[in-house]
Amino acid sequence: MNTTDDQLKEIVRQKYSQIALQDKETNASSCCGAGGCSTEVYNIMSDDYSTLEGYHAEADLGLGCGLPTQFAKIKKGDVVIDLGSGAGNDCFIARHECGETGKVIGIDFTRAMIDKARQNAEARGFNNVEFREGDIEKMPVSANTANVIVSNCVLNLVPNKDGVFKEIFRVLKPGGHFSISDVVLSGELPDGLRKDAEMYAGCVAGAIQKKDYLDLIQENGFTSITVQKEKPIVIPDDILQNYLNAAEIASFKRGDFGIFSVTVFAQKPESTNTTCCDPKIGCC
């Protein structure tokens, strides 16, 4: 797919704007929220939020691949940021955890999603939840703001994942942490999946190898890196046959390559002083 980063981001923006503008019943009846069942890939990864405190069905578009807020260790009074906040689902659950003394900031680059989330927050009188339109590669947030960052099936949609982790590090307070659910790969994804724009917007083609994903986190200075949950993503045959031939489908089912949802925890160190000290001059 000879597609630039900006073009990929615009594909994602258009697709998720379309999903945001549909009501929940239409989303459910169309398998995923973006048209016919051939796009079911948008919600085959989602987990059930309905048992979590703070859940509001109107804010759940079924677009996630995990339950990061369940693992995020949010405390009362925390400032929490949700990357790719959609209609507000994870933000509202985070609000329940951080309480009235905390604050939740949702960031999304899709105007339709921001509008929908703000309507959902206003309808519930949530005064300590706000939604900011912006790119998570350049967050509209000051440095050292958040105690906790969560995100659900969003980083795989961003071409520059390294840039996002650098922004997460900047925005977290020293000692703060993140819990992020994302899609990763094991083995080489066939070209039919990897090069398709629809599969990119559906979170599959933009995923990277699990090892590379975890290495990115470590290379950006995070510690205490832990995979909190991992589950395989099963793509139905009626979707696979749109992208793969019979031999490739058989290879997928043999486990020659795999697509997984992982929820990863990591912490920004309490001290982030990285000034290089030369022992010869005794500055340490």
CA trace torsion 103, 107, 111, 117 (10° rounding): -40
Residue 266 pLDDT exceeds 90: yes
Q: How far apart are CA 275 and CA 64, in angstroms?
A: 39
Domain 5-268: top CATH class:
alpha beta
Beta-ladder partners of 135: 138
Is the predicted pLDDT of residue 260 greater than 60, yes or no? yes
Q: How confident is the model at residue 238 (pLDDT cuts 50, 70, 90)?
A: confident
Question: Per-residue pLDDT averaged across 175-182, rounded?
Answer: 96
Residue pair 87/113 in contact by the 8 Å Cβ criterion: yes
Q: Where are the domains of the chain?
A: 5-268
Give the distance from CA 70 to its chain's centroid: 14
Which stretch of 68-72, 134-138, 180-184, 246-250 has the lowest confidence by average pLDDT? Answer: 246-250
pLDDT tens-digit series, residues 6-59: 766 666 666 666 665 665 544 443 333 333 333 444 444 455 555 565 555 555
**By mean pLDDT, which of 107-111, 166-170, 209-213, 230-234 is the weakest?**
230-234
Higher per-residue confidence, 190 vs 86? 86
**pTM of this prediction?**
0.78
Coil/strand/helix, residue 267: strand
253-277 in b/e form (b: 16+ CB < 10 A) is eeeeeebbbbbbbbbbeeeeeeeee
List alpha helices for the chain, DSSP H.
5-21, 24-29, 68-71, 89-98, 111-123, 161-171, 191-194, 197-201, 210-219, 237-240, 246-254
Amino acid present at 29: S
Task: Please report which confidence band the pLDDT of residue 63 belongs to, taking 50, 70 and 90 as the band edges.
Answer: low
Report the range of poorest mean pLDDT among 89-93, 104-108, 251-255: 251-255
Answer yes or no: are the C-beta atoms of 63 and 42 closer than 8 Å: yes
Q: What 3 state SS string does 160-205 have?
A: CHHHHHHHHHHHEEEEEEEEEEEEEEECCCCHHHHCCHHHHHCCCC
